[in-house]
Every structure is written in structure tokens, then in C-alpha cells.
Chains A and B, each alone.
Chain A
Amino acid sequence: MTSEEKNLVEILEEGHKVDVVKYMDYVSAPEAGAIATFSGTTRNMFEGKTVLELRYEAYVPMATKCLTSICNTARSTWDIHKIAVAHRLGPVPVGETSVFIAVSSVHRADGLDACKFLIDELKATVPIWKKEVYTNGEIWKENSEFMEKRDSLGQKQEQRRSCCGSKVRVQEDEEHKDNNTSS
């Protein structure tokens, strides 16, 4: 019921760096024995070409909704305390963080699995784009995770109200029991 208060989703406008410490602080809690994090950083090479910078843009309101929905799906699958997801927009120089995810949980397995799920879903369904700028040209990237899911994205809309229409939730009945106790 109050899960929204335990998710922090931020799409950072151009010029704002990802403040990793802020998100670590947000998720940390005495009852959480583990914090799992993922940090996506711009690489300096792609297929032998030198990358100067990445430029990100987003459909911000929909991206925010999608990320919140993904956080809530993660909560219904794993026992999680708090989640923070941040994605930077605008130019991101090589070596800087473009995306950061932190998940706190009582036990590490839940946090680690949820963290992987969150970044995989982000790459597959959240409307954010990046252009790679090389010394000799530029290209809009395409996530393979999106291509695999593309055809099913709009399909289940009548069954669900979230914007990211295609998540397959695999969960046992036992796991289901825990859903309402967190918050």
C-alpha cells in the first residue's frame, strides 16, 4: 500500500550527475542486511570505434511511470525493503554513470535478483534513448532486450493498467503470501 514511499525513481535532467551516495543513503536501513547495486557507465569503445560521449533522452512522464511499475513488480516477486532507480539525460561523458539502481533487502538473494530484474526490464521497456557519438559519426543504439520484447509490449493492455505491458511474472504461491506484509 505504501510501496511508493519506498521507491525513489528519478530521471535526471541534463547537467545533473548521478549522486550514487544519495541513492545508497535512501535505500539503507537498519533492518536491511544487504544493498545490491547496479551502475551503468559509459564505455570508451564500441566495436573498435572510439566513443566520445553518450547522449540520452527520454519520454520522461512515461519513463517515470514505467520505472515505478517495474519497481512494484519487483516488490511483488521478491522481499525488498527500498528501491532507488536513477537515469541521467543529456550528454554523459565516457566514464560517468548513466544509470544507477540500488535495492535494499533483509537477505542478499532478494536484492541481487531484483537488481538484475530491474536493469533488464529498464533496458527492455522504459522509453529512454541513447545516441553514441564517435570521433567519426554517431548512431542511435538499440537494446537487444527491447527487440526481443517489442512485439508483445502493447499486447496485454486490457489485462493490466501499468504501462510496461509485457512482464511475465513467475511466482509461486508461497512467495505470494509475503506480498502484503511488506510496506
Chain B
Amino acid sequence: MDVTEQASSKEATKIENEETSSVEIKVLFFARARELTGVPDLTLKMPSGSTTQKCMDELVIKFPKLEEVRGCVVLALNEEYTTDSAIVKHRDELAIIPPISGG
């Protein structure tokens, strides 16, 4: 049991160190954005301190087709509308929201 605990605490330290240089966020795609990427969600690794705009840049590199909606999407961070300059944190959820059409 001791060995396991030691191992897991070591693991924790390792992860912490990694977090200082990069963060992992979950990205959600909806409607037209989902059709363009072909996936509903993915995990994105970004340097620490990245803005949502930087994440979007990265996503357009991964999925060039997203360029089509880039100019008209809004972003939500952890279920709230956000700005391009907001900083993403580890395990944040970033949603790519094309023009909405409820009702």
C-alpha cells in the first residue's frame, strides 16, 4: 500500500510540473462547426497562459475547414460566453458556437 501511495504521489508531482508549461482543455463543436471538423469534441493541449483566441488559431490549423465559420463563431468557456482574450486553464471546457438559431 505504501508503495502505491508513493507512486501515485510521484505521479501527481510529475503532472503538476507538466501543468506549469501546458494545459489540456476540452473543446466542443456544435452545428456547422461539428460538421466541418467531423468530431463533436476533442482534447487540446495548449501552452499555459494561452488565450481562447490562441486556441481557436490552433483549431483552425488542425481543421482548416473551420476557417469558413471562424468569422462568425462566438466562444464559451465553462458554459459562459467569453472573450478572445480570456486565458484558458487546465481542464476548462471551450465551446465553439456558430450562429445560434433556436426558437
CB-based contact B31/A131 at 8 Å:
yes
What residues of B have a CB within 8 angstroms of the CB of A140 in the complex?
31-32, 98-99, 101
Query: Is B79 in the interface zone, CB < 8 Å from A?
Result: yes
- Rounded to whole angstroms, the CA-CA distance of A124 and B12 in the bound complex is 43
Q: How far is the CA of A127 from the CA of B82 in the complex (A)?
A: 13
CA distance A120 to B83 in the complex (A): 23
Contacts of B72 in A (CB 8 A): 142, 150
Which stretch (A2-10, A28-36, A58-66) binds chain B? A58-66
In the complex, per-residue mask of A124-139: 1 if CB is within 8 Å of any chain B CB, else 0? 0111111100000000
In the bound complex, what is the Cα–Cα distance between A144 and B69 (angstroms)? 16
How many A residues, CB 8 Å from partner?
A: 38
A59 touches B101 (CB 8 A): no
B88 at the interface (CB under 8 A from A): no
CB distance from B65 to the nearest CB of A (A): 14
The CA of A157 and the CA of B52, in the complex, are separated in Å by: 14
A62 and B100 within 8 A (CB):
no
List residues of chain B with CB within 8 A of the CB of A141.
Answer: 101
Q: What's the least CB distance linking A15 to chain B, in Å?
A: 18
Instruction: Please state if B102 and A155 are interface contacts (CB–CB under 8 Å).
Output: no
Known: A129-B30, A140-B31. A146 touches B76 (CB 8 A): no
State the B residues within 8 Å of A (CB): 28, 30-32, 72, 74-76, 79-83, 86, 95, 97-103
CB pairs A–B below 8 angstroms (18 shown): A59-B95, A62-B80, A65-B79, A122-B103, A126-B102, A129-B31, A129-B101, A130-B101, A131-B31, A140-B99, A142-B72, A142-B100, A142-B101, A143-B99, A146-B100, A150-B74, A153-B74, A154-B75
Q: A128-B101, A154-B86 given. 6 additional CB < 8 A pairs?
A: A61-B79, A65-B80, A127-B102, A129-B30, A140-B32, A157-B83
